[in-house]
């Protein structure tokens, strides 16, 4: 029982030390598309949401990512207009991390 507690304590300390050093948590999950971070979420089918998330995760080139982002936003604006809805703007640019010099 003591060894289980020590192992758990060690795992927590490794994460804390890593975070304090500017790292990320060992258990950090990849980005997930959701209604709070995906423009037009409510206008996409469940399959489209899965495909969008997979595609966004796959980009390694900023230009290709930006091209896809612009096409996706235009499609979502078109769908919103067809349904008489306003599509909120702003939000985080999911391609930013691919810009030259980005961390």
Give 19-62 pLDDT, tens digit per residue.
444 444 444 556 677 777 788 999 999 999 999 999 999 999 99
- Tokens 């995760």 label which residue? 57
- Our count of domains for the chain comes to 2
- Higher-confidence residue of 31 and 14: namely 31
48 & 6 share domain: no
68 & 53 share domain: yes
Domain that holds residue 84: 31-103
Q: What are phi and psi of 51, to 5 degrees?
A: -65, -40
Distance CA 71, CA 75 (A): 6
55 & 95 share domain: yes
pTM of this structure: 0.64
Secondary structure (H, E, C), the chain: CHHHHHHHHHHHHHHHHHHHCCCCCCCCCCCCCCCCCCCCHHHCCHHHHHHHHHHHHHCCCHHHHHHHHHHHHHHHHHHHHHCCCCCCCCCCCCCHHHCCCCC
24 & 40 share domain: no
The structure tokens listed for 34 are: 């959701």
22 & 1 share domain: yes
pLDDT(17) > 70? no
């Amino acid at each position: 029982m003591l060894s289980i507690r020590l192992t758990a304590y060690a795992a927590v300390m490794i994460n804390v030390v890593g975070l304090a050093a500017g790292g990320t948590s060992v258990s950090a999950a990849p980005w997930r598309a959701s209604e709070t971070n995906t423009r037009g979420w409510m206008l996409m089918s469940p399959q489209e949401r899965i495909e969008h998330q997979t595609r966004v995760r796959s980009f390694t080139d900023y230009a290709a990512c930006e091209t896809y982002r612009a096409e996706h936003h235009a499609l979502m604006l078109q769908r919103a207009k067809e349904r008489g809805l306003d599509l909120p703007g702003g939000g985080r640019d999911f391609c930013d991390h691919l810009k030259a010099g980005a961390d």
